Structure 1
Amino acid sequence: MAEGDRPESHDFDVAIVGGGPAGATVGTLLRKYAPRLRVVILEKEGFPREHVGESQLPLISTILDEMGVWNQVEAADFPIKLGATYTWGRDPTPWDFNFIPPEKFEITPRPAKFEGQRRYTAFQVDRAVYDDILLRHAAGMGCQVRQNTLVRDVKRTGDRIDGLTLADGSTVTARYYIDASGNVGLIRRAMGVGIDSNERLRNVSFWDYWENAEWAETIGIGGTRVQVRSLPYGWIWFIPLGPTRTSIGLVCHGEHYKSMGLTPEQLYRRALADETFIAGLIANATPEGRVRTTKDWSYVADRLYGENWFLVGEAAGFADPILAAGLTLAHAGARDAAYTILELDRGEHPRQWLLDRFNEKNRESVEHHIKFAIYWYSANGLQTDLNDFCKNLAASAGLRLNARDAFRWISQGAFTTELLGNPSIGFFDLTSIHDLANRFAENGRRHEWLIHGHSVFQLNVHGATQGYVGDLKNGRIHRVPCLFKGKNKLPLHEFFGLAVDVLRQTSDAERFMQLAMNAVSMIFPPEHARFAMSRVVEALEAMALDGWVICRHDRKRPPLLMEREAETIRRK
């Protein structure tokens, strides 16, 4: 419990501004793990209400299951997202990114349980329905939900919030406050927190909803991929939200949009006519006829916490929609805020460690996704009207687009911190990032793995200090040992921990693979051993990229040869 606070001296333990997915996630998890807590959610609108941002990533499904709301979301019969189809890069040929290979997606009836293949899929959601399900669930968990309730003012003393003044003149007080108000950032602005915005990554979106558009493809029962299609001046999304309703939008750079001299409706209609594949899907469809617009400016808040408040969702930051990470960042950051408050109340971990961990982890997550988005735009040779923009974007970020340099630029510090113990960024594992770097390379030359062709891998922890990172499970934050060297982190956990343990026994490549396979076979069932072993090798590569492993070739020893390509990325 916060020092000097008594529960009876406040109206609530936690006051949440905003009832979208981030706010509902915080409230639900607080009540799940600490039912005694008095939680209020203040939402300015009445639900259901429309909202953009419909495409999810698989991590959200895990959080929905933890919240206890998976069954309700699955029962809504949203399309199952198995990945995405892109026209992007140097070649106009469409290519697929799959969460799981489509031929391995089993035909099973719906609604289904959160098990088996559904652990690796995501949803494409109608936000009016989805957000309402989550907010109702939060209420069912015991949160006091007040819709149509506008917060007019934030009362503060220094960096501490004293209360929230509502539109009716009343005041709500709490021990902790959560800003889940979206890009409005009501508490963020009131507390004087600035943002770090990439001035060159300032896009705008235009979209409408369509009835009876054809799906680009149907996989199994209810499965499909979203479509991401490049145009010379931007890109189009095509996201089925149900049997008949589809979200179709255009994203382009804000300055280029201004220079075109078109209204949003004119540009939207032009884009749909220019993209012939999408035009075919909507030939017999009907639009609602109201083109919406919004800014897609990527940013991250300078800090995500204060004396008694936290920022989550778009109040904390926003990464360009090309990676469909918005909802994932919102759910994950909100979960983290709930866990942090629970641990602050328990008082078992140092308060400042908890706050710094929350701030660093979630700011880094947004920053990594922004960085990845910069790479995507810089590497898209199909946006011919934006060549200067793409070149300037790459130059301003210090990005060179040959495969080797691009991969190193993307991966710096990202693979060891994004998903604890697992080498990945967003929904791309390290192998997929390698393949993307080769696909997008300017000169067409392939980039080999850093560990490829080497026979000696020497663990390099000289100068490192030991500290801790957090592992969030079952309502608790467990402190996990971690090595720190400059800005680089090496969590001694899961696949990274396994790789470090083996490297402490041997530096020989062949022996490393033998010992790692032995360890994997003791931890994982046979059907998962191959996947787990590939993650260990990816962890080794990530460690080499960050300097935790020194690679050498000894002619007397057999080298490690990397010939595996991502199973997740395929040409059409």
Structure 2
Amino acid sequence: MDSALTKTVSCEAETSSGHVQAEAHFEAIILGGGPAGASCAAILARAGRRVLVIERDRFPRFHVGESLLPLANPLLRRTGLDARMGGLGVVEKFGATFLSECGRDSARIDFAEAFDVSDPRAMHVLREDFDTLLLDNAQEQGAEVWQEASVLTVDCEAFLPRVRVRLETGAELWVEGDFVLDASGRSGILARQKNLRVADPELRKTALFAHFRGVPHLRGRNRGDIQVFCRESGGWGWLIPLPDGRMSIGFVFDNKEQSKSKTESAEVCLDRWIAGLALLDDCRSSLRREGRAYWEADFSYSTRAYTGSNWLLLGDAASFLDPVFSSGVQIALAAGADAADALLAGLDAGASRRRRALKRFERLQRRRYRFYRHLVLGFYRPAFRKLMFQPEAWPAGARSLASLLAGQERPGWRARWRVAMIFLTVFCMERRGTRSA
């Protein structure tokens, strides 16, 4: 918070028992300092716009979603971070390895073989470090950042929307802006206030995860691969190697198989599932959990609207999907860049141009959500999994799938028609299986 506003808030807080009526104006008020909010703030601030980020927590803080995709690289460069990424501890990631639960079957997707991906390098990060770097960068680019600040209410009914905030000191104030951008993650402050969230009935899942030590990383070029193990029940799990030697391990279940327990702790439940995972038999004696385990339930959802006349929903605040293809941070960074572009096009424009900019943002978010949802639903089809474990039978199709898994949501014609053929093949396999049954 800048010193002038700090003085105003402190003074008024003393004279009004902590209820501050100070007014401050910003061109963009961003609720949440995660990847979507921080990236949007950095791009806007670099363009000379006055931006406020209101973050509930004090960074660094724990967060899951440690695996990034290659197409995150150009998005990070837009925030001004590229030259500074060397200071962040990372595990380089060049692909993904898919395994059967027992480890008997495997298939590897190498991003270097992907169509339309110029830089095949991705990375795994500790989100507490990565998110802190993003938020610090937004502040260095010129955005104002308030941490440990709670959003009490958002009023978007007036021509200029305003937000009531409780600061870490306990003082309260209203701030107003030209736009309010909800990047508050699953909390979805504005999305819930406007009753916009829609649960995905086809992806009713529960996730259980924690960080562990004592799990060896793969070797060679595969060392940084995310390992996705496909369970016979239809669920799946992940092993993600982290920069400090830890391994992120998690399971995703259908709610009918394992829902969030009211009687069993996340730690006890996760230990029980890991005890039955054959992939970890060789390191079971050295395996130990570090920190607590976490539940997440019914985490796939969309929104009825991404924009209004003076507000936008970004990243997880708008929608989230099953993370089997590590799309969470990718979608958040892309949404942050799209939102910045929409505001840069609309802030100084007339009403007509502003509406066009917001409609384009809405269209881009819906298309991105449909793209990843189509992939995720495909993964849960047994025929798709069977085909995925036979990449040598369809090398061009495997290259196309690598493009999509690298985050290329707008692939060229070579990848598009081959991916269409993959899903056509899956459909034919399912029809053949139905007839034979």
TM superposition score normalised by structure 2: 0.79
- Describe the superposition over 1:463-497 as per-residue Cα deviations: whole angstroms up to 9, x where unpaired: xxxxxxxxxxxxxxxxxxxxxxxxxxxxxxxxxxx
> Which residue, out of 97, 108, 111, partners 1:96?
108
Q: Does 1:62 align with 2:61?
A: no
Shift of 1:56: 1.2
Q: Does 1:180 align with 2:188?
A: no
> Which residue, out of 5, 15, 19, partners 2:33?
19
Amino acid at match of 1:73: M
Q: How many correspondences in the alignment?
A: 384
- Describe the superposition over 1:520-555 as per-residue Cα deviations: whole angstroms up to 9, x where unpaired: xxxxxxxxxxxxxxxxxxxxxxxxxxxxxxxxxxxx
Shift of 1:235: 1.5
| 2:61 corresponding residue in structure 1 | 49
Shift of 1:423: 4.5
Structure number, greater radius of gyration: 1
**Cα distance in 2 for residues equivalent to 1:439 and 1:301:** 29
- Describe the superposition over 1:114-168 as per-residue Cα deviations: whole angstroms up to 9, x where unpaired: xxx982221111100000000010111011111111111112327x563111123
| 2:379 corresponding residue in structure 1 | 376
Amino acid at match of 2:136: R
Alignment of 1:327-338 (within 5 A): 327-338=329-340
Contact 1:438–1:444 (CA<8 Å) still a contact in 2?
A: no
Contact 2:379–2:385 (CA<8 Å) still a contact in 1?
A: no
**Cα distance in 1 for residues equivalent to 2:378 and 2:420:** 11
Q: Does 1:31 align with 2:45?
A: yes
Shift of 1:97: 1.1
Gaps of at least 5 residues in structure 2 are 1-22, 387-396, 433-437
Quickly say closer, same or farther: Cα 1:246–1:259, change in 2 above 3 A: closer
| 2:412 corresponding residue in structure 1 | 422
| 1:157 corresponding residue in structure 2 | 157
Instruction: Give the SS at the match of 1:291.
Output: strand
| 1:483 corresponding residue in structure 2 | none
- Describe the superposition over 1:74-129 as per-residue Cα deviations: whole angstroms up to 9, x where unpaired: 3323011111111269x951101111159xxxxxxxxxxxxxx9822211111000
Contact 1:301–1:363 (CA<8 Å) still a contact in 2?
A: no
**Cα distance in 1 for residues equivalent to 2:431 and 2:91:** 36
| 1:320 corresponding residue in structure 2 | 322
**Cα distance in 1 for residues equivalent to 2:244 and 2:81:** 22
**Cα distance in 2 for residues equivalent to 1:440 and 1:95:** 21
| 1:275 corresponding residue in structure 2 | 277
Amino acid at match of 1:82: F
Alignment of 1:173-322 (within 5 A): 173-190=176-193, 192-219=194-221, 224-233=224-233, 234-258=235-259, 263-281=265-283, 283-322=285-324
Contact 2:89–2:125 (CA<8 Å) still a contact in 1?
A: no
TM superposition score normalised by structure 1: 0.61
Quickly say closer, same or farther: Cα 1:259–1:327, change in 2 above 3 A: closer
Quickly say closer, same or farther: Cα 1:347–1:356, change in 2 above 3 A: same
Amino acid at match of 1:12: F
Amino acid at match of 1:21: P
**Cα distance in 1 for residues equivalent to 2:203 and 2:151:** 31
**Cα distance in 2 for residues equivalent to 1:433 and 1:328:** 23
Instruction: Give the SS at the match of 1:30.
Output: helix
- Describe the superposition over 1:336-356 as per-residue Cα deviations: whole angstroms up to 9, x where unpaired: 000000011343883322211
Contact 1:231–1:275 (CA<8 Å) still a contact in 2?
A: no
Quickly say closer, same or farther: Cα 1:442–1:281, change in 2 above 3 A: farther
| 1:362 corresponding residue in structure 2 | 365
Shift of 1:259: 9.9
> Which residue, out of 161, 169, 174, partners 2:172?
169
Instruction: Give the SS at the match of 2:57.
Output: coil
Shift of 1:282: 5.3
Shift of 1:429: 6.0
Amino acid at match of 1:83: G
Cα RMSD for the two superposed structures:
3.4
